[in-house]
Structure 1
């Protein structure tokens, strides 16, 4: 897994060359799974005060690391974009690897991005999912949840998600969940209307068709008739009352409430230390899933 993200263009023609497409991405960007990854950075613009830290830890569920992240800054059209994401994969790492390399490219290349970011994000999520499904022979049958955050010039925050990876903002010391956990039981009516079903076995969580524990995701071709890739999108103006944002996979949120997470890291000014503190606490609380966390600080 890389601490630096490089822009990688992927097209349908390159996908059809076979599985070497994903192997090349992993080799070039050092994306092979590891037990942990950590790092930090900040905007190089002196007028934009945004800093971030991340920490990812492989879980104890007996499979390779399937979480990936993005944390980088790009300049576009005289604007500075902070791009942050966590992708929580299942049934392999090819779909989250593809998302890491391409989702933000797809979003910011949408013609409507600068005038209507909300529509651009929704369109890009949809087109990205279609590409993954159309190329499932190379990308595999798996899927991924996603939570993405785009900070424009340190002033505007656009958050989107599908699945149960979550974004929580700290404003005046209080936690405010910006995303929606897309759980099967909350979308049962839609799933059943589309010909699927939701089961809840004793000691287990609700699952779509007895398999997947989220109602929305990228990929998952075998379940796609009953899954959605429509993201929830939220805009937050970044004012003086916004202190920081936490992005994390469900490996954190399964064992920690929103306010607990905010209270735990509020006194910690270094966002990398804060992210590591959250993952360490989740491990102490016996979380067995992969645990991935990004903390974005403003001001």
Structure 2
């Protein structure tokens, strides 16, 4: 591990960087997970929120994992689980995102510039994986060591047409990052009432079979992906059997590479 990164958890604690982590496993013990969250260097409270757990529902085991990367001080959770999932998973997940956005906008009056990206994963009976996302938090699945991106980075430059069709614009000013109306660096998000007419809140939804080649799944906020590509993250995580330690090592490596944003990482190891 030391060869992967000279920065470790004790050094982070010594530098007064806020760090939290944890781990768990499926009810049959065939899957394990670990997570690690590190507050960024910006002068505001931690804005990320995570979900990582296994639950029994209607004789099925569901792994429920999510990372919400808030901006302007907001963090969100998806609305209650949709019964429709058992019949039409893709549509149920999309509806959950849309309902969550509506709930946020209807119950919070101070959301003119606040919002959140999201990436969520549902593991169904250890055999099927459903991924959904808004914004630039990302999910990466490793099959036989090959990194497969399971989410879509919703960047203003790639969805410029949709933004402009709704009367908005994309500008690199201020700074050098494309932003919706010069403000938000993602083209899809929860909340953001002042930009809602120009933003989308419908997720991209992907599915995959968890076969004998699938070894790990990584969910992470852009605090990791700004400084590390998909294959690098997979290569680091696969070398560490304990997914809890793997998540902490990825966070430590992101800090070593001078990531300044909040860093939230979940690693799930199959079998």
User: Normalized against structure 1, the TM-score is what?
Assistant: 0.83
Q: Find out whether 1:213 has 2:196 as its counterpart.
A: no
- Compute the displacement of 1:256 (Å): 0.3
Is the CA contact 2:139–2:151 (under 8 Å) kept in the aligned structure 1? Answer: yes
Aligned partner of 1:86 among 67, 71, 76: 67
Aligned partner of 1:42 among 16, 21, 25: 25
- Compute the displacement of 1:50 (Å): 1.2
Aligned partner of 2:164 among 167, 192, 197: 192
User: Normalized against structure 2, the TM-score is what?
Assistant: 0.91
Q: Find out whether 1:70 has 2:51 as its counterpart.
A: yes
* CA-to-aligned-CA distance 1:190-248 (integer Å, 9 cap, x gap): 00000000001375210000100000000010000001011000111100000000000
Aligned to 2:42: 61
* CA-to-aligned-CA distance 1:133-186 (integer Å, 9 cap, x gap): 112216675110000000111111111000000000111111010000000000
Aligned to 1:155: 127
Which whole-Å CA distance do the structure 2 matches of 1:50 and 1:220 have between them?
A: 36
Q: Find out whether 1:282 has 2:254 as its counterpart.
A: yes
3-state SS of 1:277 partner:
helix
CA shift in 2, pair 1:50/1:251, >3 Å: same
3-state SS of 1:262 partner:
helix
Matches within 5 A, 1:18-37: 35-37=18-20
Aligned to 1:124: 96
Moved over 4 A (4+): 138-141
Which whole-Å CA distance do the structure 1 matches of 2:111 and 2:182 have between them?
A: 23
* CA-to-aligned-CA distance 1:247-277 (integer Å, 9 cap, x gap): 0000000000100111112111100000001
Aligned to 1:14: none
Which whole-Å CA distance do the structure 2 matches of 1:124 and 1:262 have between them?
A: 29
Which whole-Å CA distance do the structure 1 matches of 2:231 and 2:158 have between them?
A: 23
How many aligned residue pairs are there?
A: 255
Aligned to 1:258: 230
| RMSD between aligned residues | 1.4
Q: Which blocks of at least 5 consecutive residues in structure 2 are unaligned?
A: 1-16
CA shift in 2, pair 1:203/1:133, >3 Å: closer
* CA-to-aligned-CA distance 1:10-62 (integer Å, 9 cap, x gap): xxxxxxxxxxxxxxxxxxxxxxxx9221000001225xx11100000000122
Instruction: Name the one with the larger helix percent.
Output: 1
Q: Which blocks of at least 5 consecutive residues in structure 1 are unaligned?
A: 1-33
Which whole-Å CA distance do the structure 2 matches of 1:70 and 1:211 have between them?
A: 28
Which whole-Å CA distance do the structure 1 matches of 2:111 and 2:125 have between them?
A: 34
Q: Find out whether 1:136 has 2:108 as its counterpart.
A: yes
